[in-house]
Amino acid sequence: MSAFVLNVIGDGAQPVLFAPLGLGRATVLSPGRAFDLPVATQDSMPLLAAARSFAEGLKLDINVVATAKRKKKLLIADMDSTIINVECLDELADMAGLKPQIAAITERAMRGELEFEAALRERVGMLKGLKLDALERTYVERVRLNPGAKNLLATMRAHGAHTMLVSGGFGFFTAKVAEAAGFHVERGNTLLDDGVALTGEVGTPILGRQAKLQALEDAVANLKLDYAETLAVGDGANDLAMIQRAGMGVAYHAKPVVAAAAGASIDHNDLTALLYLQGYSDAEIVCV
């Protein structure tokens, strides 16, 4: 077995497209959707650039992946815009008639242009007085699991992985999303209220970039894992530290600063792609 593979994911993916690279026989993970090609060289950047140039204009996710300990024993995932379809804080803001103002701050924070904790306090402060029933309405009306989420969690759990949802968003939503998707554990920030409405404050300490990294490090220690056995996925700047520390760090439909720094990027496919990145074939994927 080669030490690395070129992993290609996307509808219509065919090994023949990459024949000029001379990489050898493909291992098909999903017919017409995902395959691996063996990589002999350790200097994978020129190869990856060449492969991506061959696929320019096609909706294919192409990454070089190490084959050692490829199926991970820990998944740590961001929630907003990763496991679910929205930024919950922005949707709460919509309930208050403040979405344009708050979403603009969210976008800058996720791009790494603003310090996360300060940006979170500013946005939550703007929601002071929002009635508590807005949280439930936001969840019911706006929050949906992203395609592939349930299959990702069910498959990794079936193969013995521990799964964690760690969000800079709020515990009200992480608890519900974790249960719906199938995570073992969840962590999120706390919106403070007076029993009727939000006070405009967030509980401390705030769970941000460093806390996400700490969650990964604590899990590795508690589960007695090697970092090579871990997968971290997210889309925003506050996910960068855990993505860069994990054995497989994945930028999922991510902001440019995250995609540039992550070891792997998924830009075109759903969360099932995280299984193909780990070498799972269709026969091994648990569909729920």
- Return the pLDDT at 162: 98
Catalytic residue among 80, 90, 94, 239: 80
Q: Are residues 86 and 135 in the same domain?
A: yes
The pLDDT value given to residue 40:
82
Question: Within this chain, do residues 22 and 84 fall inside the same structural domain, yes or no?
Answer: no
5 and 97 together in one domain:
no
CA-closest candidate to residue 106, choices 123, 121, 86: 123
Nearest to 109 by CA among 235, 264, 281: 235
pLDDT score recorded for residue 1: 74
pLDDT at position 44 is 81
Same domain, 132 and 29: no
Domain boundaries, position 45:
1-68
Q: Domain end: 68, 103, 123, which one? A: 68
DSSP the chain: --SEEEEEESTT--GGGGGGG-----EEEETTTEEEEEE--S--HHHHHHHHHHTTTS--EEEEEE-TT-S-SEEEE--TTTTBSS-HHHHHHHHTT-HHHHHHHHHHHHTTSS-HHHHHHHHHHTTTT-BTHHHHHHHHHH--BPTTHHHHHHHHHHTT-EEEEEEEEEHHHHHHHHHHHT-SEEEEE-EEE-SSBEEEEE-SS---HHHHHHHHHHHHHHHT--GGGEEEEESSGGGHHHHHHSSEEEEES--HHHHHHSSEEESSS-TTHHHHHTT--GGGPPP-
Same domain assignment for residues 50 and 191: no
pLDDT tens for the chain, 288 residues: list them.
789 999 999 999 999 999 999 899 999 999 999 999 999 876 788 899 999 998 988 999 999 999 999 999 999 999 999 999 999 999 999 999 999 999 999 999 999 999 999 999 999 999 999 999 999 999 999 999 999 999 999 999 999 999 999 999 999 999 999 999 999 999 999 999 999 999 999 999 999 999 999 999 999 999 999 999 999 999 999 999 999 999 999 999 999 999 999 999 999 999 999 999 999 999 999 999
pTM: 0.96
Which CATH number characterizes residue 54's domain? 3.30.70.260
Whether residue 80 lies in the annotated active site: yes
Same domain, yes or no: 191 and 63: no
Domain count for the chain, please give it.
Answer: 2
Domain identity same for 64 and 93: no
Q: What is the CATH number of the domain that holds 260?
A: 3.40.50.1000
- Residue 192 shares a structural domain with residue 60: no
User: According to the model, what pLDDT value does residue 159 have?
Assistant: 98
At which of 68, 97, 116 does a domain end?
68
Same domain assignment for residues 272 and 129? yes
Q: How far apart are the first and last CA of the chain?
A: 32
31 and 43 in a single domain? The answer is yes
The answer on 280 and 151 residing in a single domain is: yes
At which of 68, 89, 114 does a domain end?
Answer: 68
Query: Could you say which of 11, 36, 43, 78 is catalytic?
Result: 78
132 plus 254 within the same structural domain? yes
Cα gap 96→98, rounded to integer Å: 5
